[in-house]
Chain A
Amino acid sequence: MPDLPPEKLRPRCDPATLPFRTTDELPDDSDLIGQDRALEAIRLSAEVPHRDFNLFVLGPSGTGRHAASERLLRAQAAQRALPSDWVYVNNFDAPHKPRALSLPPGIAPRLRQAMQDLVNDLARDLPAAFDSDDYQTRRRAIDQEYGEKQEGAMSDFADRAKSEGVALMRTPMGFMLTALRDGEVLKTEDFDKLPEQEQGEIEEKIARLQEELAEVLRQAPKLERAHARRIEKLNAETASRTVSSRIEEFDAELRAIDSVARHIEAVQQDIIAHAALFLQAAAQGADGGFPGPLRKFHEDPAFDRYAVNVMVSHAGENGMGAPVETEHDPTLDRLVGRIEHVSQMGSLVTNFTMIKPGALHRANGGFLMIEARQVLSEPYAWEALKQCLKTCSVNITSLAERMSLMSTTSLDPDPIPLNLRVVLIGDRRLHALLVMLDPDFADLFKLQADFEESVARDDDTNTLYARLIGAYARREGLRPITAGGVARVIDEAARRAEDNTRLSLRLGQIGDLLKEAAHYAGTRDAPHVEAEDIDRASRAQDRRAGRIRDRMQEAIARRTVLIDTGGAKVGQINGLSVIGLGNYSFGRPSRITARVRMGAGKLVDIEREVDLGGPLHSKGVMILSGYLTALYARDVPFSLHASLVFEQSYGGVDGDSASSAELYALLSALSGVPIDQGLAVTGSVNQAGEVQAIGGVNEKIEGFFETCRARGLTGTQGVLIPQANVEHLMLADEVVAAVRDGQFRVIPVAHIDEGIALLTGVEAGQRDDKGAFPEGSVNARVEARLRGFAEARRDFMRRPDGTGGQL
């Protein structure tokens, strides 16, 4: 297989194919490209009227998930009618159960103001009514009527007793009756002189009159109660007249709403029953700056009972425009609302005016966007959200209540009916976990919008991509970008897609690159962002993130880490690995060695033996065993004992991308043919010896290139890559330049036989008609070695001195 030509290593976007000079000429079209599948799902979720068609937007961050979702949802929301306003008002029958009222959109603040005006007016009108001559006269008449009833009864009794010759004596403990004679109290000695019959008559009289007096005195509380009722009735009549008169002036449009009319009726009854509140407020005087007529009585907490707590109100032109809310901090309270408390006399109290809305209230009738990870990490928030979606209502329950941590006055407000679409945004892993572990999830979130990470690259998409970049630059206030700059960005997008036939849709990363490039353009006072600015930004990003990479290359250069880039050695090869550090990754070479001897068919993966090898790596090594046993010396037992190791590997090794390198090392060790150390290898292998694609091909090639360049490029150095990875090449300009100059090689390989021949300079060899490999070929030598192991093993087992045994 010939070396790859330079143009295959980095297929560039030709600025001449782009139909503009700068992005200023492009239409302001920021529609996402390549996300049709996801956008269709979002549209469906926004349009379908049925419940539970909530949406999970999944995909990697930086693909424009948020912006695209919000844009589509806003477009749909703009076509929807404004949803109802919601307010909480006092439940006069059960204050701990505030009533929720639904109002036409935009009406809630008007109702709140109307109620405040009502309170302010009545706080002036009611005291005036109770201070009026009319009221005072009627009140005095009642007082006098009942006072005279009681006093009259006492007076009548006193007169009657006196007429019967009995005196009423006041004592510290009460009253005593005694006989009178000639207007004077009869003394004991005079009484004793009276005839016995007369004494008896007097005693009889006194006994009877005592009973009458007791009855008169017992009437007092009854009269007091009757008096109180009359006064209450008078007060109610007075208040009723005043309140009714004022309520007739109440906003007729508001009163035409049934729920408001019912509430106003309840308010009217309550004000009449609690008119004293208004009299007390007026009696407190004009505290504060303004005199009576301007005093805001509704701010007095005593009048909270008549307040209107606006939970949500919507205003919009032509009555259109459903809400689209994004809750960035979806705690339980911020999601479903909360009930606040205030401390009064050492205890926590609350009322309906302290109910605060949550995101669900604000988004009701529209759309609510939430980061899935955040809502899942907030205590009880996810459970509460599901509960609200299941019941189609928002029920405010605090965290303390849910956990039974708080035993104080609380409220049980009317649940508010919920009709909204929740859009969760998260990654694919989270979506998969929710599907697997939460039985409610699939029922409640019936739709998924899966955002692509890349889009196929062709002239059309290049142009669309350019529009996207132009729109981004305009939106972010960046300098326009030249066609050359856009072409460079497109190349970078292909590099980040790890595929020269696709473009990365992680627009967040591309946007960051553009911003940095625009900054560099600004530092040189350029009107446009040029390719050189993009290039500089890309290199700067690479440099900032590349400290560990540089230290590793330095360790290789100083031979702290042993890597040969020249000469040839048996059983030793340069493998390539990728090290990922967050969103940055780089490649580095690793020495892989193989050692062989006669044994019982065991291939020892040293990495695995010491728990440094991951399962995929172990699988790759076991595939080698399958390859060897299937290809060589099939008529004798597999009598190899081989060990494979990543030298100087102190961390874990996983993935099977080094399995072809390991096989080459084994073949070299078995055949005794040395491997050219100027070459490095990447690629996995299957049991048939086919070399398969791997990830991070660009970083791996660049990693070995850096090592070779540090030692001096020889022109024979290079990297063997899987043929299938050729389409993924978007190598750095330095590598491409070196290849163009004949100083470095990138060689695609489809089969192990090709690779071993390139690495050793010896043909691998194919079996002839008789099944034998060509003499001197690598395969022939390997087979001979393995056969030799088998024979040695057989001889060992047959030793007559008994020193042989089970291997």
Chain B
Amino acid sequence: MTTRGTGLRILIGAESLADAEAALRLVERLPDRDMTELGGLLLRAADIGAIPRLARQRLVTPGGALLPAPDTPSAGWPAREATQFRARLAAVARSRRWVFQDQPEEIGRIARFTESWDVVILGCRLLHRLPGRVVLVAGAGGASPETARFAGDIARSLGTETATLPNDAQLLARLARIPAAAVVLDLGADPLPGPAALRALIDAARCPVILSRSQPPG
């Protein structure tokens, strides 16, 4: 993680515009000095084309509506939503530098990006507007001071507080029951989870997951 004096380079990865929007809202509340560059990354969603199609199977919207399951599910981004993501990213970046990658990536390749960006935020749409805390996942040695401070900054910007959870076997079960506004994972203390574990983390958190490096990229 870079020092506060120079600001952070933050990359937002999202599988949908709604997920991206949740991450963008976190970023736009950060003080200007905390960010020097903003990036946008399209992520492919979980492939539902391989799951069996059942006659009574439905898509359940976040609002609780039941819709017919899509005939040709696609893990890609509709062009229109990608354009909107890009536009929102540019708006949030304001005068700062920003980059946008319009070729979708698999979440499995996220490690490439965590190495070249200070912070990678994996967007995830919030299912409700109830306030939640910023959960800092601390490894065995605890979170680095930079990451803890970053988590605190986000919490302050959201008007909430931080909660720390140990990165153990009960993490997902605990996360699933905690109302969280964001989950911060310190990549300096813990290794980047694999794609499945990362998805499981996001599914349990049901909020943006922040992957933070405590050391500047090499």
Contacts and interface: CB of A to CB of B under 8 A. Distances in A.
A186 interface: yes
B99 interface: no
Contact of B51 (A169, A204, A216): A169
A206 B52 CA distance: 12
A96 to B, nearest CB: 34
Contacts of A154: 127, 176, 206
Interface in B55-89: 55-67, 69-70, 73
Given A169-B48, A176-B69, A207 B130 contact: no
A223 B16 contact: no
A188 B48 contact: no
Contacts of A216: 64
Contacts of A148: 177-179
B161 interface: yes
B48 A173 contact: no
A754 B52 CA distance: 144
Contact of B127 (A204, A210, A220): A220
A175 B66 CA distance: 10
A223 B52 contact: no
A612 to B, nearest CB: 90
A140 interface: yes
Interface string A173-206: 1111111000001111001100000000011101
Contacts of B55: 203
A147 B132 contact: yes
Contacts of B70: 173
Nearest to B128: A220
A559 interface: no
A227 interface: yes
A371 B52 CA distance: 97
Contacts of A179: 51-52
B56 A203 contact: yes
Contacts of A214: 60, 64-66
Contacts of B54: 202-203, 206
Contacts of A152: 177
Interface in B144-198: 161, 173, 176-180
Interface string B79-108: 000000000000000000000000000000
Given A151-B206, A173-B59, A176-B48, A224 B130 contact: yes
A152, A171, A175, A185 pick with most chain B CB within 10 angstroms: A171
A144 interface: yes
Given A151-B179, A155-B177, A213-B60, A169 B127 contact: no
A177 B15 CA distance: 18
A192 B50 CA distance: 12
Contact of A175 (B18, B59, B177): B59
A309 B15 CA distance: 59
B26 interface: no
A277 B74 CA distance: 49
Contact of A144 (B64, B128, B129, B179): B179
A211 B129 CA distance: 22
A141 to B, nearest CB: 12
A171 B45 contact: yes
Given A140-B161, A214-B65, A188 B45 contact: no
A526 interface: no
Contact of A176 (B57, B161, B176): B57
B128 A203 contact: no
B176 A170 contact: no
B176 A155 contact: yes
A214 B67 CA distance: 10
Contacts of A207: 56-58
B63 A217 contact: yes
B218 interface: no
Contacts of A723: none
B64 A210 contact: no
Q: How large is the interface on A (under 10, 10 to 19, 20 to 34, 35 or more residues)?
A: 35 or more
A174 B179 contact: no
A217 B127 contact: yes
A541 B86 CA distance: 92
Contacts of B51: 169, 176, 178-179, 185-188
A561 interface: no
B46 interface: yes
Contact of B73 (A143, A171, A187): A171
A191 B66 CA distance: 23
Contacts of A206: 54, 56-57
Contacts of B173: 155
B78 to A, nearest CB: 9
Contacts of A248: none
Given A148-B178, A188-B50, A214-B65, A176 B131 contact: no
A718 B205 CA distance: 126
Nearest to A212: B60
Interface string B21-38: 000000000000000000
B59 to A, nearest CB: 5
Given A154-B206, A185-B51, A217 B56 contact: no
Contact of B130 (A188, A211, A223): A223
Given A173-B61, A174-B62, A176-B57, A150 B50 contact: no
Contacts of A143: 130-132, 179
A207 B66 CA distance: 10
B53 interface: yes
| B51, B73, B130 interface centre (most CB from chain A within 10 Å) | B130
A176 B124 CA distance: 16
B203 A168 contact: yes
Nearest to A168: B203
B53 A150 contact: no
A285 interface: no
Contacts of A140: 161
A143 B132 CA distance: 7
B59 A171 contact: yes
A2 interface: no
Nearest to B61: A174
A551 interface: no
A251 to B, nearest CB: 38
A152 B176 CA distance: 7
Nearest to A174: B61
Contacts of B50: 185, 187-188
Contacts of B57: 176-178, 203, 206-207, 210
Contacts of A186: 51-52
B197 to A, nearest CB: 13
A215 interface: yes
Contacts of B130: 143, 146-147, 150, 220, 223-224, 227
A276 interface: no
A581 to B, nearest CB: 81
A399 interface: no
A172 interface: yes
A217 B17 CA distance: 20
Given A172-B15, A173-B59, A218 B64 contact: yes
Contacts of B18: 172
A266 interface: no
B91 to A, nearest CB: 21
B155 to A, nearest CB: 12
A568 interface: no
A158 interface: yes
12 contacts: A143-B131, A144-B179, A151-B178, A154-B176, A171-B73, A179-B51, A187-B52, A192-B52, A203-B54, A206-B57, A210-B58, A227-B130
Interface of A: 140, 143-144, 146-148, 150-152, 154-155, 158, 168-179, 185-188, 191-192, 202-204, 206-207, 210-211, 213-221, 223-224, 227
Given A154-B176, A206-B56, 17 more contacts: A140-B161, A143-B130, A146-B130, A147-B132, A147-B178, A151-B178, A152-B177, A170-B15, A173-B16, A174-B61, A179-B51, A186-B51, A188-B50, A202-B54, A210-B60, A217-B127, A220-B64
Please give me the 5 A-B residue pairs with the lowest Cβ-Cβ distance, nearest first. A147-B179, A218-B64, A172-B16, A217-B64, A191-B52
